[in-house]
Amino acid sequence: MGIVVMIIQGIIGLVIIDAVLSWVQSPNQVPRKYTQQLTSVLYAPIHAVIKPQMTGGLDIAPLIVIIALQFIRGLLV
């Protein structure tokens, strides 16, 4: 159970890093390129329902992913 919680925390960290990098780097620069590849899998189902254009260009997918992962982590602990 502890390993699963650590993996969830790592994914949350990755989502936060990707969100911060999205403010300062373009998607084709090296660190952002790799974080975007990893997190786009998590964001795809959310983008299918809530497109950033629907929220005024603000992408709320990282926030939804973090909240969902925190909820899952809470259920496990």
- Ranges of the chain whose pLDDT falls below 50: none
Whether the CB-CB separation of 49 and 68 falls below 8 Å is answered with no
Apex CA 38: angle with CA 32 and CA 41, to 5°? 125
- Tokens representing 43? 């964001």
pLDDT in tens, 21-39: 999 999 899 999 999 999 9
Give how far the C-alpha of residue 27 lies from the chain's centroid of Cα atoms, to the nearest Å: 15
pTM given for the model: 0.90
Alpha carbons 7 and 9: distance in angstroms, whole number:
5
pLDDT at 52: 86
Task: Measure the CA dihedral 34/17/19/35, to 10°.
Answer: 10
- Distance, CA of 2 to CA of 76 (rounded, Å): 9
